[in-house]
Amino acid sequence: MNLIGEHTDYNGGFVLPVALALAVSVEIERRSDRVIRASSANVDEGRWRERDLGDEQRTGTWVDHVVGCAAVLVRLGFIDRGFDLRIASDVPMGAGLGSSGALSVAILRALREAFAIDIDDTTIAKLAQRSENEFVGARSGIMDQMAASVGREGEALFLDCRSLAYERVPLPDELELVVVHSGVAHQHSAGRPEGQSPYNQRRDECDAAARSLGVAELRDVPPDDLARVGSLPDPLARRARHVVTENSRVLDAVEALRARDLPRLGELLDASHRSLRDDFEVSTSAIDLLVDLVREQEGVYGSRITGGGFGGSIVAIADAGGGHHAAAVAVAEYEQRTGLDARILLPALAL
């Protein structure tokens, strides 16, 4: 779950994700032929899907993640045999919590173990991103994969998405994370031809803004250069302004965590949501309502949409011990006003 730093990863910037107590598990067995068989406990009623190693035809289903991970390893000469693979996951799909990144990392970890491949966890994340970009068709950045591969519970992962240097920043004991699924799944490609999803469109706009500003990536635009950013045509100016200011917010959020300054961290989350709503335009009316309702609760310092946008989840920070009550009150009103079924993912209600 990304605490702050949205749509900055594919612009070479900074992010601050947090590992959650959710997991994808993979069981794998090597085969002597070149057949790949895969099943998932979460979809298709656990039925086996079968493909040939080297068959890279995209299907638009979860199987593309399996085939894509195998394909990158084949191209690197790491595997030349098939395998049977069974998947189970409690990471909710379409919730903005990196389910695809976690799946790809889990598959590659299983393949690393089964075929005794000598690659480290950072390489696992890079190969997972390559699989999603080249074979699944999602032009994702590296954040979700790095968070799944090297993140630890109880810590935020301060990641430079250009160098992949990272620092683990402990979460203060007095902070409680609140994560609520809005009941609206991601709709990145609904009704649009392949490659024209809103997410990919935002990437294209960021690339165009960088070219217009004469930089390799928007990461290279300093925060004191916003006047030049503002001279770009709309919507490029707003897209670039979000990325430049969001990078600054990540750096400030790291300092707020180190200082255990929850009010300041909350202000940064609030500002991030406004920027994602107004400048990057990836929020929805339902998400905005949920963000506001959670933010209004006592003991909540800040809230925002998390993930790629166009649905998914929101994250908020609250005083330890009060997060679930705040979320429950907000969700009750949200469901009454929208008719949607929201789900509190964090904090889990103690039994």
Q: Which residues carry out catalysis?
A: 144
Q: Using N-to-C axis directions, what is the helix angle for 285-295 and 262-278, rounded to 10°?
A: 160
The DSSP 8-state label assigned to residue 181 in this structure reads E
Question: Which residue type is seen at 231?
Answer: S
39 CB-near residues (< 8 Å, 6+ apart): 46, 47, 48, 49, 85, 86, 87
DSSP per-residue string spanning 111-171: HHHHTT----HHHHHHHHHHHIIIII-----SHHHHHHHH--BTEEEEEETTT--EEEEEP
CA distance 124 to 104: 9
CA distance 294 to 328: 9
The DSSP 8-state label assigned to residue 233 in this structure reads P
The DSSP 8-state label assigned to residue 218 in this structure reads G
Task: For the beta carbon of residue 2, count every other beta carbon within 10 angstroms.
Answer: 29
CA distance 329 to 348: 15
CA distance 160 to 251: 10
